[in-house]
């Protein structure tokens, strides 16, 4: 990292610079420390969070999912000790696996605020490294769509199986055909419930009005590829559009993304949601249960391990393949690496329209 141009992190409207500490990695990950930028109020009273005055000084409580405790503790407790020493506070962390609050106490309000700010930055950094656990999805696994998808698969294998890399292992499980609106890292039941509650608020605030209280009729038609060279394709997807020619589905998807990003439950990846239904993906070649991963910020990408396929003939022959018409009536909070009785992803919550 260029010390003259450190990485900047934005949290709660404030900017922080990230400094790398040269020490042994903790559980194969770099332990990082952060310093507040000059425009920050880390050592001054700040209304970004609640600091209570007590008989012995000041106290601040932080809700933290138990899987993230280890990043505040550090190797042999070094991170926690350093935070306490440098901010002159005491930090109480629940036992591993026990959900609860981290409690920061100190004689000086500025020290408690500084400790809280640094903990927030640490948590934000390490949360981004977690693989996503859930995603907002719209199911496209209705029987008629599945039937046409299986026809598409059969015809592709019949006409293009001799093309480089094309095999039956590339195709999506028809029971899991879907649109992904965004991915989330939800690390405990409280965060899952928060996402479910937000879905319901979105339904009341704008989804019902845009959808008009009725299912949306869409057509799934045509295929397209993700990367620049069709001869080296990794992802082939079916295109989705409203039958009435409107952009209502796109508007709902974009506004859902914006609300979830604003809540802190989702990282913003693009200005607009790319509505697509993956039908072929090279990650399925090695792991049929894998989902495509748009967010390269959370976890390491597996693109280097992929074996691309030549999609030129598929695109030429099936450019306008018609998968069918379908009524969309819900957005689901789907759990990654799961299945329900229908074969679709297990649902933690949903909004209907």
Other Cβ atoms within 10 Å of 172 Cβ, number: 24
Could you list the pLDDT tens digit for every one of the 353 residues in the chain? 555 556 666 665 565 666 655 444 444 444 444 444 433 444 444 556 799 999 989 999 999 999 999 999 999 999 999 999 999 999 999 999 999 999 999 999 999 999 999 999 999 999 989 999 999 999 999 999 999 999 999 999 999 999 999 999 999 999 999 999 999 999 999 999 999 999 999 999 999 999 998 999 999 999 999 988 999 999 999 999 999 999 999 999 999 999 999 998 998 888 899 999 999 999 998 776 665 444 333 444 444 568 999 999 999 999 999 999 999 999 999 999 999 999 999 999 999 98
Report the greatest alpha carbon distance in the chain. 78
DSSP conformation letters of 155-178: HHHHHHTTSTT--GGGBPPGGG-E
Among 181, 68, 177, 170, CA closest to 134: 181
CB of 97 within 8 A of CB of 66?
Answer: yes
Domains delineated in the chain: 51-129 (3.30.1370.10), 134-284+307-352 (3.90.1140.10)
Give backbone dihedrals phi and psi of 12, rounded to 5 degrees, phi first. 55, 35
């Amino acid at each position: 990292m260029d010390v003259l141009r450190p990485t900047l992190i934005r949290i709660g409207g404030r900017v922080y610079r990230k400094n790398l500490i040269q020490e042994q990695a903790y559980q194969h990950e770099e332990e990082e420390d952060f310093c507040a930028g000059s425009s920050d109020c880390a050592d001054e009273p700040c209304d970004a969070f609640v600091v209570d005055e007590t008989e012995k000084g000041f106290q601040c409580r932080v809700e933290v999912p138990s899987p993230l405790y280890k990043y505040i503790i550090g190797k042999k407790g070094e991170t926690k000790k350093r935070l306490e020493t440098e901010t002159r506070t005491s930090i109480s962390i629940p036992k591993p696996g026990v959900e609860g609050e981290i409690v920061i106490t100190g004689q000086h309000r500025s020290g408690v605020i500084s400790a809280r700010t640094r903990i927030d930055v640490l948590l934000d950094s390490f949360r981004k490294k977690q693989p996503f656990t859930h995603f907002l999805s719209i199911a496209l696994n209705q029987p008629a769509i599945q039937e046409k998808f299986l026809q598409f698969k059969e015809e592709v294998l019949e006409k293009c199986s001799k093309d480089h890399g094309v095999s039956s292992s590339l195709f999506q499980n028809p029971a899991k055909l879907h649109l992904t609106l965004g991915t989330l890292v939800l690390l405990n039941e409280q965060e899952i419930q928060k996402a479910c509650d937000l879905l319901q608020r979105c339904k009341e605030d704008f989804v019902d009005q845009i959808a008009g209280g009725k299912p949306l009729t869409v057509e799934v038609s045509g295929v397209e590829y993700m990367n620049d060279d069709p001869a080296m394709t990794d992802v082939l997807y079916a295109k989705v559009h409203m039958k009435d020619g409107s952009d209502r589905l796109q508007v709902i998807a974009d506004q859902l993304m914006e609300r979830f990003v604003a809540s802190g439950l989702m990282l913003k990846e693009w200005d607009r949601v790319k509505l697509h239904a993956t039908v072929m993906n090279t990650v399925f070649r090695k792991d049929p249960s894998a989902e495509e991963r748009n967010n390269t910020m959370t976890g390491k990408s597996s693109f280097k391990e992929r074996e691309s396929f030549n999609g030129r003939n598929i695109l030429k022959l099936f450019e306008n393949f018609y998968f069918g018409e379908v009524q969309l009536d819900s957005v689901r909070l789907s759990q990654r690496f799961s299945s329900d009785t229908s074969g679709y992803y297990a649902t933690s919550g949903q909004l209907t329209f």
